[in-house]
Structure 1
Amino acid sequence: MQVTIGEELMLLSLDDESGVAKEAASAGWAVAGGILADLVLAGRVTVDDGRLAVADRTPTGDPLLDGRLDRLAEWADRKADEKAAGKAAGKAADRVAGQAKASDWLTRDRPTAVRDAVQRLCERGLVTEERHRAFGLFPVRRYPEADPTVERELRERLAAAVLRGEDPDARTATLIALIHATRLYRLAFPDLPRKEVEPRFAAIAAGEWASGPVGEAIRNTQAAIAAITVVTAATAATTAVIT
């Protein structure tokens, strides 16, 4: 079964037995980035110097990607209209506001990306939804694993590339680059110390596994996610100190 990179990252985050998302904040960025990266690999979106553009609006045939492509295209069109209006009015601030930045899209898309990825995993029968109320009051949803075959194959691909030094294909390398950008090494290899796997993650992320515009777009996406997660972590740390 072929699943999207965003779904693969969601599978890594969800605890197999409890269905609770591990490292949920960082995983959310990774999932949003994974969906965007799949659209780049499919030739539907470009990311150049941190800015997004829709290159082809033809559906991919995957419901998760096509739903996101429609939303992204609508958002990019709105940004283009804002930029045009800013230019017509001669307002520099409006021209800046009208830029379709990858970081802005990822920030906007993260909550719905996680929700949609989980929903798609449920539709595929890979996880099952369980609902209950915490303390009898608050609704809680959990997504324990129902079919382990896809995650097992996923972890084997990661082990082959990271632990055994095999050359990954572009899709697996993209997945590894996103894990590296969000520092989610423990989701991929929960039993290994970070120092044992991080160098290989970094080497693959910086490698020449995808050349030309596609490779550059993936690296731009990776850089945008890495920058966001650094700012988010710093903000959280500052808030903790203040409170």
Structure 2
Amino acid sequence: MNLPLPHEMYLLCYDVEKGRIESSSALVRGQLVRAAAVADLALAGWFRDEAGKAARTSTETPDDPFLAEVLDHVSPDRPRRWFTVVDHSWHTAEATMRDLLAATGVITADRRRALGLFPVHDIALPDPERVRLLQGRVRDAVLGGHDPAGIAIEDAVLATFALQGDVRTAFSPKERRAHRDVVRSLADRVDSDLPGLRKALDYSIAARRAGATS
């Protein structure tokens, strides 16, 4: 049984061989997790695009706590820009998702202090094969030689967001370059089904990376 998209987005960043979360996406992982939640909500009908904004379609909330948190940022009577929904609380999203996955037993997260000063979490997987299968599925969307139109939209979303966030447990820079046409086709597919979301994630990622280099 597949987990919600934001859960899978976080797990996609796990390096099974090294036993830790990969580092290339560290700066933007919160945005990736939130964007995946927005995609999940939109695909399930909780959001719709209304004049380039995220409009909430119901006063009810989904069962998953993280999806509910993201949805509750948008009032049913006040649509918000897709960028605003993706970028909101980006700095706490990763920790929230990590704690939720730990609470449900999908991961373990032992807190310690590196050098006795800096808080870090040692992440481990009770079921590493689950993540290997997830990563293989997402990689196959780009590398498997399939017609992008036939790829499940959920896998197209995860692959596209992983490429945007430079998640190297999913794709290496060399693989990205070698499959430019498929990458573009999958991005177009996401834009067609979820208008405005990929661009919002691009803007949010650019803002974080610009801030880190200024």
Counterpart position of 1:176: 159
Counterpart position of 1:32: 34
TM-score normalized by the length of structure 2: 0.83
Task: Find 2:63's aligned residue among 57, 61, 64.
Answer: 61
**Counterpart contact for 1:8–1:154, Cα < 8 Å:** yes
Task: Find 2:204's aligned residue among 228, 235, 239.
Answer: 228
Where do 1:22-171 residues align within 5 Å?
22=23, 23-69=25-71, 71-73=72-74, 76=75, 80=78, 100-166=80-146, 167-171=150-154
**CA drift at 1:143:** 1.4
Higher helix fraction: Structure 1 or Structure 2? 1
CA distance in 1, matches of 2:89, 2:198: 15
- Ranges in structure 1 where 5+ consecutive residues have no aligned partner: 81-98
**Counterpart contact for 1:186–1:194, Cα < 8 Å:** no
**Counterpart contact for 1:19–1:142, Cα < 8 Å:** yes
Task: Find 1:202's aligned residue among 174, 178, 184.
Answer: 184
CA distance in 2, matches of 1:140, 1:183: 22
Judged with a 3 Å threshold, the aligned counterparts in structure 2 of structure 1 residues 210 and 135 are, in CA distance, closer, same or farther, namely closer
Judged with a 3 Å threshold, the aligned counterparts in structure 2 of structure 1 residues 102 and 191 are, in CA distance, closer, same or farther, namely closer
CA distance in 2, matches of 1:138, 1:183: 25
Aligned-partner residue type, residue 185 of structure 2:
A
**Counterpart contact for 2:22–2:169, Cα < 8 Å:** no
Aligned-partner residue type, residue 97 of structure 2:
A
Q: Which has the larger radius of gyration?
A: 1
**Counterpart contact for 1:47–1:221, Cα < 8 Å:** no
Judged with a 3 Å threshold, the aligned counterparts in structure 2 of structure 1 residues 202 and 210 are, in CA distance, closer, same or farther, namely closer
**Counterpart contact for 1:32–1:106, Cα < 8 Å:** yes
Q: Is 1:14 aligned to residue 17 of structure 2? A: no
Higher strand fraction: Structure 1 or Structure 2? 2
CA distance in 2, matches of 1:64, 1:19: 22
Counterpart position of 2:5: 5
Judged with a 3 Å threshold, the aligned counterparts in structure 2 of structure 1 residues 138 and 158 are, in CA distance, closer, same or farther, namely closer
C-alpha RMSD over aligned residues: 2.6
Aligned residues: 209
Q: Quick one: percent identity of the two aligned structures?
A: 25
Q: Deviations over 1:17-37 (max 9, x none)?
A: 443452211222111100111
**Counterpart contact for 2:53–2:81, Cα < 8 Å:** yes
**CA drift at 1:132:** 1.3
**Counterpart contact for 1:161–1:168, Cα < 8 Å:** yes
